[in-house]
Structure 1
Amino acid sequence: MTYQDEFNVFWEQVKESIEAGTFAKLTMAKTIGKPELKNIFIRPILSDDDFKVMLKYSFRPRETEDIEEELTLEEAFVILQSHLKSFFLSVLLFTTEKDVVFKVNKKGIGSITESSPTFKNVVFG
């Protein structure tokens, strides 16, 4: 199974957590090399229409201001997928029920692990 296939399995868990109302946060971490882009965070935001997220680019030099975008979940997926394996090797899903970690190893193989939840409540950004 390719890392893209495994990431799609992981993304299904993201969507399930949103539907269940347990999605707290998603973080891209483990950068490749020392790029200026340090992390990408996704938090749910309150929206009248559809489910929306706040995508935040966090940069390494503190002088560089973070960038935030309000997106649909599908738009966020495209951005995350484009940064996977080119800038980041892991994606962490935090829900109120469990934490789920997606990792790509040096051979390009994806894996998913679960652990106890870090967040007890959903915090809207």
Structure 2
Amino acid sequence: MAYQNVFDLFWNQVKASVEERSFAKLTMAKTIGRPNLKNIYVRPLNSGDGFLMLVKSHYRSKETEDEEQELNLEETYAFLKSHLQTSFLSVLLFTTKKDVTFKINKKGAGRITENNPTFRDVQHAKAGKL
């Protein structure tokens, strides 16, 4: 199945974890080549304005400062999807119930796997501190 369709199924699990309040963290890893952008980390953010995510872009180069954005769920989806297969081949979702991994293979097909949870508690990020 094309990775875009599988990523949408994966994102449904992200949304479900947010609704269940079990979302702990999301990480984009396994870069294509050796780009300056090394990882993208997503954590739930303490906010009185509904559910927000702190999205941190982490760079290899010490000359490039890490960037943080406060995004809602839909904005986070669009941001992460724009980095699939251009910068990253995998996304890891950590919840208090299970860990879910989305991967794109060399043929451009997506796959989802599940494992036991890494996190027991949800810790909300504070703006400026991921």
Q: What RMSD, in angstroms, separates the aligned Cα atoms of the two structures?
A: 0.7
CA distance in 1, matches of 2:95, 2:2: 25
Identity across the alignment (%): 59
CA distance in 2, matches of 1:24, 1:62: 27
* SS of match in other structure, 2:103: strand
Q: Match of 2:88, as an amino acid?
A: F
CA distance in 2, matches of 1:62, 1:24: 27
In the TM superposition, residue 62 of structure 1 has moved relative to its aligned partner by 2.9
Partner of 2:10: 10
Partner of 1:28: 28
Equivalenced residue count is 125
Q: Match of 1:7, as an amino acid?
A: F
In the TM superposition, residue 63 of structure 1 has moved relative to its aligned partner by 3.6
Unaligned 5+ runs, structure 2: 126-130
In the TM superposition, residue 5 of structure 1 has moved relative to its aligned partner by 0.3
Unaligned 5+ runs, structure 1: none
**Runs of 4+ with >2 A deviation:** none
CA distance in 1, matches of 2:61, 2:123: 27
Q: Deviations over 1:1-50 (max 9, x none)?
A: 21100000000000000000000000000000000000001100011121
Taking structure 1 as the reference length, what is the TM-score of the superposition? 0.98
CA distance in 2, matches of 1:62, 1:102: 29
* SS of match in other structure, 1:28: strand
In the TM superposition, 1:1-125 aligns within 5 A as: 1-125=1-125
Taking structure 2 as the reference length, what is the TM-score of the superposition? 0.94
